[in-house]
Amino acid sequence: MFGNIGKIPIIGDLTGSNKNAHLKGNLVLMRKTVLGFDVTSIAGSLMDGLGEFRKQFPLQMVKDLMPAGGDYVLKLPMPKIIKEDKKAWMSDEEFARETLAGVNPLIIRRLTEFPPKSTLDPSKYGDQTSTITEAHIAGSLEGLTVQQALDSNRLYILDHHDHYMPFLIEVNSLNDNFIYATRTLLFLRGDGTLAPVAIEMSLPELRDGITAAKSTVYTPAPPTAGAEAWVWRLAKAYVNVNDYCWHQGISHWLNTHAVMEPFVIATNRQLSVTHPVHRLLLPHYRDTMNINALARQKLINAGGIFEMTVFPRKYAIEISSKVYGSWNFTEQALPDDLIKRGMAVPDPSSPYKVRLLIEDYPYASDGLAVWHAIEQWVTEYLAIYYPNDGVLQADVELQAWWKEAREVGHADLKDEHWWPKMQTVPELVKACTTIIWIASALHAAVNFGQYPYCGYHPNRPSVSRRPMPVPGSDAYKELEKNPEKFFVRSITAQFQAVVGISLLEILSSHSSDEVYLGQRDTKEWTSDAKAQEAFKRFGARLTEIEKRVEAMNKDPRFKNRYSAAQFPYTLLFPNTSDKGDNTGVTAKGIPNSISI
């Protein structure tokens, strides 16, 4: 648990007293450069612009982010999303593909009612039902009616409306912020790919003591449609502002880093080091408490880098805290999550017990294979020590472990009905599988693609700073005159981008001493021959998954796995076969634990 942390002294004393003057100076610099980031070609020169900016202003803040013993952070390598094709990120196809195979493929869900409805309290927010109508999307459904598209599981939604609407009045009172709450409808086309068909952008409006929504709907414009095409691109960028910040605060920090801590602490307090569950789980706790402590001190602290680089700023952790109130441990299991979001249905005939409704859903397809391998390993391992439920029920240490994790670690949620009672072996198998999944594959899926996808911030900006331009307005005329400049001036400011991108490069990097799923850092982790044999089978299954991922990424039938950007989906490539050669930003590999 408190292993080799020397590889990641990643965040130096950014906010200590000896740096305050320097930090204040940089914040002033940020204000001065908010409107000073001009480019003539977004994809062609923005990365060069950021690199030159960082050379000219060798910020101590950036230097302090460097891992010990390496200088690769200073290189700002070309993010994979634009490495081979500088314009692919701008397409509707890539925008939609990233909801299935990007850095945050956990939010998309199947639409079951039209128009989409809100779950916000109507006594506070009125009727927040979507204003998207059938007329907005009828021409994009390949001849289907809306009802036919719903009935055939072909309409999906990326819904951030309810996530942000309760916070927008406060958030938009902050300088250089103009944030919308968005809903994006996507249609599953006949070739198995998704296409965005409408984006609704909403602002809060006070009416008779109720925070109502004032909404505008945008629909796709052809790339050659001049200003209209850029308005549509800006709408997609503003959706990604919502998604970027939800990814960082919820999908990443809350749902992996934060929720793991109670299990780490309870395991070390209640289970002896020779206990079989302690031996099973310990590799998946390596460095987690260290990196979380460092994050609280330097990243997510008040006024820290996180607040500096995302739009909710001082409200970011408040949002995360509120969302935790609806967290459900059992729904962190991948099959349960997919069913909840309507992305899969139960299927007893499948080895995964579920069937995907979008077959070419790379995160879910690879994830289910990894989940199943973990589940098989945990089942075989625990069967050695728990031949029946009675042995489990009589295990005093195990019962104390689960009681502390639930009632002390997750005390705010201890009375929720969904907690396993821990009275049966299948309950223990599911719990341990879920813990390992969160620590390894889930974290890998949301962490190691950050720089490849978000390192080019027009693809996934963290802030929107201007209202959407309205035809006839001065802003619209400005857009018509120089659309690229208008676009860049509407998203993350230059200083924020430099700091944020530098951080993402570090967080996305694998160290040379990474221990991947299916590996152990010592051969002596157990002397039990049966456990050793089961673990070898686990490693073999993961190696087969590697071959499966490679084969599917080469198969032209799976269009969502290999985008126009020529960037295949490898975030859930286990990398069990790795011998330490793949370091830095590789966009692949599932480490055992949350250590970065």
- pLDDT per residue as tens, the chain (596 positions): 333 333 333 333 333 333 333 343 444 443 343 333 333 355 445 565 555 555 554 445 544 444 444 444 446 789 999 999 999 999 999 999 999 999 999 999 999 999 999 999 999 999 999 999 999 999 999 999 999 999 999 999 999 999 999 999 999 999 999 999 999 999 999 999 999 999 999 999 999 999 999 999 999 999 998 999 999 999 999 999 999 999 999 999 999 999 999 999 999 999 999 999 999 999 999 999 999 999 999 899 999 889 999 999 999 999 999 999 999 999 999 999 999 999 999 999 999 999 999 999 999 999 999 999 999 999 999 999 999 999 999 999 999 999 999 999 999 999 999 999 999 999 999 999 999 999 999 999 999 999 999 999 999 999 999 999 999 999 999 999 999 999 999 999 988 888 899 889 989 999 888 999 999 999 889 999 999 999 999 999 999 999 999 999 999 999 999 988 899 999 999 998 876 667 889 999 999 999 99
The residue from 10, 108, 300, 596 that is catalytic is: 596
Global confidence as pTM: 0.92
Partnered with residue 584 across adjacent β-strands are 510
Domains belonging to the chain, first-starting first, are 107-248+458-491 (3.10.450.60), 251-456+502-585 (1.20.245.10)
The residue from 160, 252, 284, 410 that is catalytic is: 252
Position 76 scores a pLDDT of: 77
Concerning whether 443 is annotated as a catalytic residue, the answer is yes
Concerning whether 161 is annotated as a catalytic residue, the answer is no
Enter the DSSP assignment of 520: -
126 φ/ψ sector (left φ>0, alpha ψ -120 to 50, else beta):
left
**Which element (helix H / strand E) includes 110?**
strand 109-110
CA distance 149 to 475: 37
Candidates 355, 524, 328, 290; CA nearest to 438 is 328
Partnered with residue 181 across adjacent β-strands are 202
Q: Where are the alpha helices (DSSP H) in 316-395?
A: 316-324, 334-340, 362-385, 389-393
The residue from 257, 275, 278, 457 that is catalytic is: 257
Position 4 scores a pLDDT of: 37
CA distance 216 to 202: 6
The residue from 26, 240, 447, 592 that is catalytic is: 447
DSSP 534-591: HHHHHHHHHHHHHHHHHHHHH-TT-TTTB-TT--B--TT---TT--S---BS-S---B
Task: Say which residues have a Cβ less than 8 Å from residue 58's Cβ, sequence separation at least 6.
Answer: none
Position 26 scores a pLDDT of: 43
456 φ/ψ sector (left φ>0, alpha ψ -120 to 50, else beta):
beta
Concerning whether 278 is annotated as a catalytic residue, the answer is no
The residue from 443, 506, 510, 594 that is catalytic is: 443
Residue pointed to by tokens 């693609």: 449
Concerning whether 388 is annotated as a catalytic residue, the answer is no
> Quick one: 150 exposed, middle or buried, by C-beta within 10 A (0-12, 13-18, 19+)?
middle
Concerning whether 257 is annotated as a catalytic residue, the answer is yes
